[in-house]
Amino acid sequence: MTAPNAGTTIRPLDGIRVIDVSSFLAGPFCSTQLGEFGAEVIKAELPDVGDALRRFGSMTEAGVTLPWLSECRNKKSITLDLRKPGGAALLKQLVKDADILVENFQPGTLEKWDLGWDVLHEVNPRLIMVRISGFGQTGPYRDRPGFGRIGNAFGGLSFLAGYPDRPPVTPGSATIPDYMAGLYGALGALLAIQARERTGEGQFVDIGLYEPIFRILDELAPSYQLNGFVRQRMGPGTVNVVPHSHYPTKDGRWIAIACTSDKIYARLAEAMGTPEVAGDGKWGHISARDRDRAEVDRTVGEWTAKFTRDEVLARCEVFQVPCGPVYGIDEIFEDPQYKARENIKYMRDDRVGELAVPNVVPRLSQTPGSIDWLGPELGEHNGEIYRDLLRLTDAQMDKLKEEGAI
């Protein structure tokens, strides 16, 4: 396995220790973000089995999947069975000197193993616990299992994805809620760390997979409460603004154009050679464009279809009309903006050679994050954590192995 990058750059979370007992994606993505900015992330996995993410997605010849390599980077892997008394005892030892614990079991699971919040908080009153589940720790649905697809559906996003005369479709990816919950989990952990600086005490962060999805649906809730408006599927269109969609080009590609104000539409109309329809013209105000939405979109589509995508992009740039190509991943790899921003990171790994993965977000000017290594081998850091950190003897480790605890 490739060794971590050597360097002296200070990272914001240097000195923070995270214990990750979560699996699959939401919890692991939370701790990955913390690890990218300096936290020491110790990932606990079932002995001989490991995280399910090791077997989800495209499998490499090395026997690990691409999601595992990309999304569990910068972590130290140990084997640990929390169901065994010895495993539960080891977790309590790890928690004593940890700052954050991340878990995404169904509510009540850790409590069943005597590892719930009350127990771990007593072990370490400064501990911050991130708890991600399908529906959160409370409410009538707390015991229901949940995955990303359920989060998209229950959160209200799937209902909006697709065309009005067809069934709802997957809104881009079924795993959006997992990533969003992981993102909010990391944010919650950082907020809790900040609060701990003032109170000296930890707390737990409670997130249901559907909640980040519901949170990002702009005016959906207040519009319904105030006006009784139930937004329906609109294909590539957008409520309240038009033209704001995807339009075809002469070379068989697509371009996104976003006119979010009357002024921007006036610039587009000028670019199209029809300035008379904007301003005091028939489509100068959003209410008129919304009324004639289909016709407005048709005229824009007819205009873009006369040119190649690059020609439309160039003309929109001249008139300062927000637009962009609808990219496939192959085009992303060739785009100069992605290259200039180093959004794609090429990592060397002894198991798979060179592998391209999404780079760290956000970008900090003085204390940037980094990718030090890709997803580790199962139990790769048992010696470092159990012998060096917890000071277990070889005899103690052998006994724990016999018990199936590690």
- By annotation, the residues acting in catalysis are 178
Run of H or E including 356: strand 353-358
Q: Are 342 and 369 in contact (CB under 8 A)?
A: no
For residue 325, is the peptide bond before it cis, meaning its omega torsion is within 30 degrees of 0? no
E strands, 294-350, in order:
323-325, 344-349
**Rg from Cα positions in the chain:** 25
Distance CA 205, CA 187 (A): 10
For residue 296, count CB atoms less than 10 angstroms from its CB and return exposed for 0-12, middle for 13-18, buried for 19 or more.
buried
The single-letter code of the amino acid at 258 is A
Distance CA 218, CA 363 (A): 25
DSSP designation for 317: H
Q: Which of 100, 79, 81, 104 is nearest to 27 (CA)?
A: 104
Distance CA 24, CA 53 (A): 5
**CA–CA distances in Å: residue 229 to residues 34, 193, 216, 359, 403:** 39, 40, 17, 40, 59
Judged by DSSP in three states, 151 sits in helix
